[in-house]
Each structure stands twice: as C-alpha cells, then as structure tokens.
Amino acid sequence: MKILMKFLAVAAAFGLGSGAAIAADAPAAAPAPVVTAAPAPEATPAPAPAAPAADAAAPAAAAPTKAPEYVSPVSPRANIGMPDGRMGIQHQVTPIGKEAQTFHDYILMPVITIISLFVLALLGWVILRYRRAAHPTPSRTTHNTMIEVVWTLVPVLILVVIAVPSIRLLANQYSPPNADVTIKVTGHQWYWQYQYPDHGIDLTSNMLPEAGEGQPNQPTRTDADGPRLLAVDERMVVPVGATVKLIVTSDPTGVIHSFGVPAFWVKMDAVPGRLNETWFRAEEPGIYYGQCYELCGSRHAYMPIAVEVVSQADFERWVASRNGTMPGAAPAATAAAPAPAATVSANASTEATPAPPATVNATAPANATNQAATGN
C-alpha cells in the first residue's frame, strides 16, 4: 500500500512538471490593444430661447383691483322724503304707503270728521235745547226703541267700512312678494349696520356732524348730504322698483331700537335676539330719511336713517364700488401668476449641457486575454 502511494506521488510530480514546461514554452499572449477613444465632438449648448419682454422684466405683483368710484346720481329734494312741516302724511313712494295714504285720506279722515261734527252738533243741541231756562220741566223718557237700534247699527256699519280696507292693508303689508334684495338691519348704540348677504356688503352708518362739531379728520355734513340730524356717512342703497326685504334686529348686548322710514310706510322694532321682517318697494328714485323710533338711550336722537333709491344700473355700479357681487354673476377671473423667467432659463441650460465624453481605461487587462490563454 505504501509502495502504491509513493508511485502515485512520483507520477503526479512528473505530470505537473510537464504542464509547467508546456506553459513556459507557449508564446506569450499578445497584450490587449490599447483602445484610444476618439474624443467626442463637443456639443454646443443650445442657446436658451430669448425671453419675451414680459419675462425679461418680471411683472410686479398684481395689485388688488381698485373698486370703481361711485357718485350718487340722486340728491335730496325739498319736501320729499324728509320732514317739511306739513300737516299730514309724507309723500309716499311705495305701493303700501300709497294704499295706506288713500285709506287715511279718503276713509279714516272723512269718517272721523263726520263723527266728530255729528257728536259736536248733538252735544250743542242738547246743551241749548234742554238747558234749565228753556226746558224747566225735564222729560222722563227712559227708552226709545228706534234710537237704540240706530245707535247700535250705525257704529257697527262704521266699523265694517273701516275694517275692510284696514284688514286688506295689513294683509298686503305682512304678505310680501318674493324679495329682489335682502338687507339685514342691526341697531347698535347708536348707529345702524346694513348687511347685504346676497352681495357680500357690510356697511356701518353714522350721523354726519355739523362743521366744527365732529372729531378731527371726521367728515361733516353738507347740503348735498341731507338735512341736519338726518345726514349719514353711509346710506342704504336699493334699486328702484325692487322688492326689498328687511330683516331687522338689534345688537344682542344692546337695547330695543325701531327702524322707520315714513316715506316707505315702514316701521319695525329691532329687538335683541329676535329677527323681525318687513319690506318695501320704492317706485321713485331719490333719498329718503328716517330715524330710530324707540327711546334707546342718551344718543337716541342721533340715529338717523338714509335710503338712496337709484336705477338698477346705478345699483350695480354701487355694488361694484363696494367690492360686492350681483347674485348669479360669475366672479372675476383671477390671472395666473407667470412663471419666473430665471427658473425657465436655468432649466433650459441644464437640458442643453452635453454629458462628458466617455473615457476608456486602456491599461486595464482585458478579460479576453486570460480566457484565450486558458483555452490554449
């Protein structure tokens, strides 16, 4: 067994020696050719597109759109919409006001006048006819059927004559048509607040003081603003012929006020925590004045109301001047902000820059050489 192992070791030694000799005698493998990559032509960066004039000078930040200026097309008129010392009702400019004035002038006043004159005449006749000197023996009449029937039926008929138009007026006054404009009126101490929820407008109305009576830099009243103690710095503006619904309330922490404009036949209490509703439809352009009609504190006399009635076109201009919108009108389109010119140019330059030419390392041994030597 030992002899066999020695024989195999000797044979292996001879075999390895032969392989080494063969490898030594074999020609040396040719070195891998050095490959020199031709330099790629330098790509000329594409010039960035010329920026338009708008990009060259970046536009300044868009300034907020300035609301168009509104100039009132109406002015106060003497004896219209304001106290003028007359005996009777102010000139009415609403359907309800005209109906109420007709009821007052042609039904109430004649009935009252006739009843008053009849009672006065009856009283005078009794005083003169049945005085002691002319009638020393008084009558002892206690009943008269005809007189009792008359003085019962006549008052009933008078009440019926008054009740029919009165109930019709109340029904029309408290059954308003669909509103064209809705305004929330809030009474504060001591000024009014007008909110147009459908137009996005909120106004605060204060009385304009006389020249020399207000605070420094505070606007003062002029004749174009209206009468003394009735002119305000912010008027309620409504379109002529439109049905205006008023939702009247008072400051939750305040007191009771009363909103009233005599020319509209409108008067409604403003109660904290409660919403009262009334309406009007003015049929004549102009400026109409009112006041707070509820004793509300020390400055109760300084809460005037001014309502400006204008055409529909003027009303739309007024809404635009207050940065409001008409119901159903599309909002103004917002211009898209232009992309900064510098960013665009930088991106263009980056895309045009060519990649650096590839470098081939010719000194690295080629894998194919070893494979070829092994193959042999």
Question: What percentage of the chain has pLDDT greater than the value 90?
Answer: 53
Do 235 and 315 fall within a single domain? Answer: yes
- Which string of DSSP letters, residue by residue, matches 200-225? TEEEEE-BPPPTTTS-TT-----TTT
Do 312 and 206 fall within a single domain? Answer: yes
Are residues 246 and 290 in contact, defined by beta-carbon separation less than 8 angstroms? no
Q: What is the pLDDT of residues 223-265, one digit of tens each?
A: 889 999 999 999 999 999 999 999 999 999 999 999 999 999 9
The parent domain of residue 304 ranges over 181-321
What is the DSSP-derived secondary structure letter of residue 285? -
For CA atoms 111, 116, 117, 123, give the dihedral sign: positive
Q: How confident is the model at residue 48 (pLDDT cuts 50, 70, 90)?
A: very low
Do 128 and 100 fall within a single domain? Answer: yes
**Residue 46 is assigned to a structural domain of this protein:** no
- Report how far residue 169's alpha carbon sits from residue 99's, in angstroms, rounded to the nearest whole number: 7
Q: What is the pLDDT of residues 94-133, one digit of tens each?
A: 999 999 999 999 999 999 999 999 999 999 999 998 888 8
**Residue 104 is assigned to a structural domain of this protein:** yes
Residue 203, pLDDT > 50, answer yes
What is the DSSP-derived secondary structure letter of residue 73? S
Do 168 and 186 fall within a single domain? Answer: no
For CA atoms 71, 73, 78, 80, give the dihedral sign: negative
Do 168 and 194 fall within a single domain? Answer: no
Query: In whole angstroms, what separates CA 281 from the centre of its chain?
Result: 22
**Residue 11 is assigned to a structural domain of this protein:** no
Do 99 and 224 fall within a single domain? Answer: no
Average pLDDT over residues 334-361: 43
The one-letter code for the residue type at 190 is: W
Coil, strand or helix at 101: helix
Backbone angles phi, psi at 64, to 5 degrees: -60, 140
Cis link prior to 192 (omega < 30° from 0)? no
Q: Report the CATH number at residue 223.
A: 2.60.40.420
Question: What local confidence, expressed as pLDDT, does residue 133 receive?
Answer: 87
Place of tokens 């904290």: 272
**Residue 128 is assigned to a structural domain of this protein:** yes
Question: What local confidence, expressed as pLDDT, does residue 331 receive?
Answer: 58
Question: What local confidence, expressed as pLDDT, does residue 142 receive?
Answer: 83
Do 188 and 167 fall within a single domain? Answer: no
- Report how far residue 72's alpha carbon sits from residue 65's, in angstroms, rounded to the nearest whole number: 21
Q: What is the pLDDT of residues 283-321, one digit of tens each?
A: 999 999 999 999 999 999 999 999 999 999 999 999 999
**Residue 228 is assigned to a structural domain of this protein:** yes
> Which of the listed residues 321, 337, 362 is the one where a domain comes to its end?
321
Q: How many independent structural domains does the chain possess? A: 2
Mean pLDDT of the chain: 78
**Residue 168 is assigned to a structural domain of this protein:** yes
**Residue 283 is assigned to a structural domain of this protein:** yes
Question: What local confidence, expressed as pLDDT, does residue 8 receive?
Answer: 56
- Report how far residue 369's alpha carbon sits from residue 374's, in angstroms, rounded to the nearest whole number: 9
Residue 213, pLDDT > 90, answer no
Do 239 and 308 fall within a single domain? Answer: yes
**Residue 313 is assigned to a structural domain of this protein:** yes
Residue 366, pLDDT > 80, answer no
Length of the chain: 376
- Report how far residue 27's alpha carbon sits from residue 262's, in angstroms, rounded to the nearest whole number: 127
Do 191 and 255 fall within a single domain? Answer: yes
- Report how far residue 90's alpha carbon sits from residue 194's, in angstroms, rounded to the nearest whole number: 24
Question: What local confidence, expressed as pLDDT, does residue 56 receive?
Answer: 39
Question: What local confidence, expressed as pLDDT, does residue 369 receive?
Answer: 39
